[in-house]
Chain A
Amino acid sequence: MDESVRKSVLAAVPSLRAFAISLCGNVDRADDLVQETMVRALANIDSFQPGTNMSAWLFTILRNHFRSEYRKRRREVEDSDGHYADSLKSQPEQHGQVEFTEFRKALAQLPSDQREALILVGASGFSYEEAANICGCAVGTIKSRVNRARTRLAELLSIDGVNDFGPDEQTRAVLASGE
């Protein structure tokens, strides 16, 4: 393997793990997902076009692999959302993790397509175009998912200031009753 390829694969690992944990909410499963992604990627390294974004290529593989696994598991475990929430609870609270517990719980309540769009754009630092390529959808779809995800998160976390920007009580009540 080319040394630069090897380096760029390894350089993507921390971010791949963060993405995987955000997707499946469980560190052990996320690390397995990253490992499976790397095995696939390195087995198909010839299909990587030098000069393009290695990180985006690996994210695409991980995302697609997660999606197919997720669909399989969804058939096995009917309440996949409850399953996700449980997996969050079972994690030992590491140092510094406590403050993120509430945020992760809220994130877990988002539809998975909104969650992945928000993370790719809001945390991984991909452009809307790159995120659209990774998810195999239109740029406008990513923008809409990110907006919906942000709105829902603000509601779930009751972030102060929402009311400063519009009459949101009604939306809030409607969303709450939808639970």
Chain B
Amino acid sequence: MESAASRKKSEAKPAKLGREVQARLGQQLRAMYDDVVNQGVPDRFADLVSRLDGTDNKDKH
């Protein structure tokens, strides 16, 4: 039974999802993603760019 199941699984093509299901998945995915995006740029990254930028300038001048 297990082998039949795994055989079926390997043959299984992705089922065609309805528009509504796709829309709901997309919504959840973006909500999760945007939750992080909306946190903006944490200080450590702004500081990092300034620091690397400063080094860069020092090297050049």
Contacts and interface: CB of A to CB of B under 8 A. Distances in A.
A122 B29 contact: yes
- Tell me what chain A mostly uses at the interface: helix, strand, loop, or mixed: helix
Interface string A140-156: 00001001101111100
B24 A10 contact: no
A175 B40 contact: no
Interface residues of A, number: 51
- Tell me what chain B mostly uses at the interface: helix, strand, loop, or mixed: helix
Nearest to A152: B14
Interface string B28-54: 111111111111111011101100110
Interface stretch (A60-68, A73-81, A131-139, A158-166): A158-166
A35 B44 contact: yes
23 contacts: A6-B53, A10-B45, A10-B46, A13-B41, A96-B35, A100-B31, A107-B32, A122-B25, A123-B29, A123-B32, A123-B33, A152-B14, A157-B25, A159-B25, A161-B20, A161-B24, A162-B15, A162-B17, A165-B16, A165-B17, A166-B16, A174-B8, A177-B9
